[in-house]
Amino acid sequence: MNDNVIDELKKVLPEDRILLQEPMRLHCSFRTGGPADLFLRVSSREELEGVLRILRQAQVPTYLLGRGTNVLVADEGIRGAVVTMTDRMDRIEVSGNTVTAEAGAPLSRIAAAAKDHGLTGLEFAAGIPGSLGGAILMNAGAYGGEMKQVVREVTMLKSTAASDQGSSGTEDTVVTIPGEEMEFGYRTSRVKTEGGIVLSATFALEEGDPAEIAAKMEDLAARRRDKQPLEYPSAGSTFKRPEGDFAGRLIEEAGLRGFSIGGAQVSEKHCGFVINRGGATSADVMAVIDAVRARVFETSGRMLEREVIYLGM
């Protein structure tokens, strides 16, 4: 990485938040992936804007990362910069029936804050391991709930660095978009289709009984423990739900329960999960995903679509 870029970044970030050749396996739930040339931790909108401006001017490819729960990073790593907001941009505020959280806040903490204030509507999110930014991007959901049902508005940074990596010449602009204009769909949103960076979001919730809310959250947690391979590194559901069916069912019918390549395996507990049983490389995981898609297409005529995002590949 160019020393001039590092020198410029030191004017915006403390040196201990500018990491060189940082192993991405430490920041992704698959626990695989090689090093990123630059790994930058930002703690405010001002830092984020400054970092993006420097990287854009230097034409450094830039990737935004949340908690790394839905990504697979190449074994060769990432050439360019990874910027994360999860360490410090994670404030949560509750006012009346609304909860406002910054992009780096874990969904589990946001759901817990709502519960503690007797607000219902976010119980489904308590067990989703990602951060708010990624959840808005992908319209995260589980057990019949999803972001689009509860998001009142999203504040975003519109930046060419988020959609056209390495481009320059435009100013960053902060915009606030009502939830009904976010174009939420199944694992997509306006953030994903148009580009931009989520800074924060506000949820509109309803009053509820804290004990009932806690009981519902515990019930959903128990169902996850019972049905999902939470004891192994993974990125959650590996494939999007095919219309009118379930990826796990199609994979099981294709005879792939327990199918493995290297340290990567189709979970025996839930066929919709590809897991790292130990020592897996990202290449192993990708090979299992490719083999599953090919076999399911061969046996059912359905082509599964990945939910996991590839970085550096």
Q: pLDDT tens, 221-252? A: 999 999 999 999 999 999 999 999 999 999 99
- How far is residue 103's CA from residue 101's CA, in Å, rounded to a whole number? 7
Looking at the predicted structure, is the pLDDT value of residue 208 above 70? yes
- Burial label for 163, CB within 10 Å (0-12, 13-18, 19+), is middle
Question: What does the pLDDT average to over 100-116?
Answer: 96
- How far is residue 229's CA from residue 216's CA, in Å, rounded to a whole number? 21
Whole-prediction pTM: 0.88
What is the reported pLDDT for 167? 44
| Domains defined for the chain, CATH in brackets | 3-84 (3.30.43.10), 92-226 (3.30.465.10), 232-311 (3.90.78.10)
Question: What does the pLDDT average to over 269-276?
Answer: 97
The confidence band for 160, taking pLDDT boundaries of 50, 70 and 90, is low
User: In terms of Cα–Cα distance, which of 180, 177, 195, 127 is closest to 149?
Assistant: 180
Strands 145-146 and 18-23: unpaired
Question: What does the pLDDT average to over 137-143?
Answer: 92
State whether residue 70 is helix, strand or coil.
coil
The confidence band for 296, taking pLDDT boundaries of 50, 70 and 90, is very high
Kindly list the catalytic residues.
Answer: 187, 237, 307
What is the reported pLDDT for 190? 94
What is the reported pLDDT for 3? 79
- How far is residue 219's CA from residue 94's CA, in Å, rounded to a whole number? 24
Tokens for 210, please give them: 């804290």
Q: pLDDT tens, 66-95? A: 999 999 999 999 999 999 987 789 999 999
Looking at the predicted structure, is the pLDDT value of residue 161 above 50? no
Looking at the predicted structure, is the pLDDT value of residue 164 above 80? no
What percent of the chain lies above the pLDDT cut of 90?
89
What is the reported pLDDT for 170? 65
The confidence band for 163, taking pLDDT boundaries of 50, 70 and 90, is very low
